[in-house]
Structure 1
Amino acid sequence: MRSKLSNLPVPEVPQGPWSLFLDIDGTLLEHAAHPDAVAVDEGLRALLVRLEAQLDGALAFITGRSIAAVDHLFQPLRLRAAGLYGLEHRLVRDGAVEAAVEPADIAALADEIAAELDNADVYIERKGPILAIHTRAAPHLLKRATDLVEQALNRLPAGYRVLAGNAGVELMPLEAAKGAAIRRFMQTAAFRGRRPVFLGDDTSDENGFEVVNELGGISVRIKPQGSTAAPFALAGVDAALAWLDGLAGRGTAATPAEMAK
């Protein structure tokens, strides 16, 4: 069931054992024209540290970024994460990463689309088997970029899909789904038996909302637009951080240095 975001209440405070899944861009950090044009301040790192300690490790990023990019952004923290919409996983903090590689046909397509669009304001992000075209700085090219990616489906092997976002379009394998990543984490020791809470802001998060709802959890859409499967909403990044800070205030704390050990 989908709801109009304007009518959604602020999320309830989770009761009993719970776990936390977090999208990054548009949820913890404001969007930027280029994914590298964002920065994490010490306050956000400290908030994540407090939450991770409070939840006994049951916190994970669920993101379209690669895990390597997440680690660079949040260094020195290396928290649990599903990157590339679940094509990459780190199931334990500071653990090994199950990585994904870029197929030759996707690499060739990335070069072809870059030549076709030929615009410095369009950023083509190559994320292993996922190709993302960011048009936030050139919104007039979003339709053209989407058309190019959709046309490419006819030439690629079966098993890919196109996902349109708020300011770009992505081509990805069918198995790349945030909901599947959340299910996998929920089967691990740190998350098992806990009520999942998931915060996200984009169409790519809807699959995760649906899974969390199915599991009896709390799904929250950030910066409302359109309709959503999430029954709760927060007005934007600042509201999301304030809500999380309120939850963290009920738990124990640790320092970023301690988390990095």
Structure 2
Amino acid sequence: MNIQTDLTPRLPDGRWALFLDIDGTLLEHAAHPDSVSVSDDLRLLLETVERRLDGALAFITGRSIAAVDGLFDPLKLRIAGLYGLEHRLTPDGQIEAADEPADMAALADEIELELASQAVYVERKGPVLAIHTRAAPHLLIRATELVEAALARLPKGYRVIAGNAGVELMPLEAAKGAAIRRFMQLDPFSGRRPVFLGDDTSDENGFETVNAAGGISIRVKPQGETAARFAIADVASAIAWLEANFGAVDKQANRDDVMAASRIPTEASPPSR
């Protein structure tokens, strides 16, 4: 059954728990992950949102926690990195890190030999291997072939996730939905209604989890089928939506104007997988 997602939700007052993807949601994609930067305005907005939600804000990202901390420094938030293979459950808490297995390291070496000289960036993220083809889109098919062929050589328990401009190989337990469920069992998230914003295939599991919990799922610039119940046109509109719903109190008077500017029509249905 198709779900008509013809507006971006204006949230009523209530107890919300907010989960945010980063790349493609809060920041525009770049050919290289290190080419992006975080504005002071975005840091300030996130600080405000966290304060208004009494701490019930977390990043749910494919980046490592170390990479996110470097990007958003000095701001530190609760975070699930590497699709939930890493966690920091409090802003000042310990990082539950994930190491790179030897077989994944060997595979990354092989793929780099073939593709790295052709404007493809092979990103090693512990047990997750990401191949970014945004600067060389004609090589996406070849990159996908390489990681799919590697499944037969690796221990059981890995899967391939195709994205908008690249492909990733990761353990089955790497799932944004599982990371969201873990946070929802803890203070200050417990007892709140979840909201998740994401933009890519890897976020679909998070949308499904939030939908099942009666929450709000929003996909930024959706392409094709999605489990998200709502859509936002682009990164700028996503940030405007965050500010309108969770930003400074003195900006709430502009809420209706911001919401009207961020609405886009899209047809979506849950993916079959």
TM-score (normalised: structure 1): 0.93
Contact persistence 2:108–2:124 (CA under 8 A):
yes
Contact persistence 2:15–2:193 (CA under 8 A):
yes
- Identity across matched positions, percent: 72
Q: Among 90, 113, 116, which residue is 1:115 paired with?
A: 113
The CA RMSD over aligned residues, in Å, is 1.5
Contact persistence 1:159–1:174 (CA under 8 A):
yes
Contact persistence 2:177–2:206 (CA under 8 A):
yes
**What count of residue pairs does the alignment treat as equivalent?**
251
Residue 221 (structure 2) aligns with: 223
Tell me which of the two structures has the higher relative contact order, counting C-alpha pairs closer than 8 angstroms and 6 or more residues apart.
1
Residue 175 (structure 2) aligns with: 177
Question: Which secondary structure does the structure 2 equivalent of 1:125 belong to?
Answer: strand
Residue 125 (structure 2) aligns with: 127
Residue 213 (structure 1) aligns with: 211
Alpha-carbon separation, structure 1, partners of 2:212 and 2:21: 19
Counterpart AA for 1:156: L
Residue 54 (structure 2) aligns with: 56
Q: Among 66, 77, 82, which residue is 1:79 paired with?
A: 77
Q: CA deviation at 1:15?
A: 3.6
Residue 258 (structure 1) aligns with: none
Alpha-carbon separation, structure 2, partners of 1:210 and 1:243: 21
Residue 11 (structure 1) aligns with: 9
Is it true that 1:100 corresponds to 2:108 in the alignment? Answer: no
Runs of 4+ in 1 over 6 A off after TM superposition: none
TM-score (normalised: structure 2): 0.89
Aligned counterparts, 1:31-46, within 5 A: 31-46=29-44
Counterpart AA for 1:158: K
Q: CA deviation at 1:183?
A: 0.1
Alpha-carbon separation, structure 2, partners of 1:212 and 1:249: 22
Q: CA deviation at 1:176?
A: 0.1
For structure 1, the residue ranges without an aligned partner over 5 or more in a row are 253-261
For structure 2, the residue ranges without an aligned partner over 5 or more in a row are 251-273
Contact persistence 2:63–2:81 (CA under 8 A):
yes
Q: CA deviation at 1:11?
A: 2.0
Alpha-carbon separation, structure 2, partners of 1:224 and 1:172: 23
Question: Which secondary structure does the structure 2 equivalent of 1:106 belong to?
Answer: helix
Alpha-carbon separation, structure 1, partners of 2:116 and 2:75: 36
Q: CA deviation at 1:77?
A: 1.0
Q: CA deviation at 1:145?
A: 0.3
Flag the 1:100–1:59 CA change in 2: closer, same or farther, 3 A: same
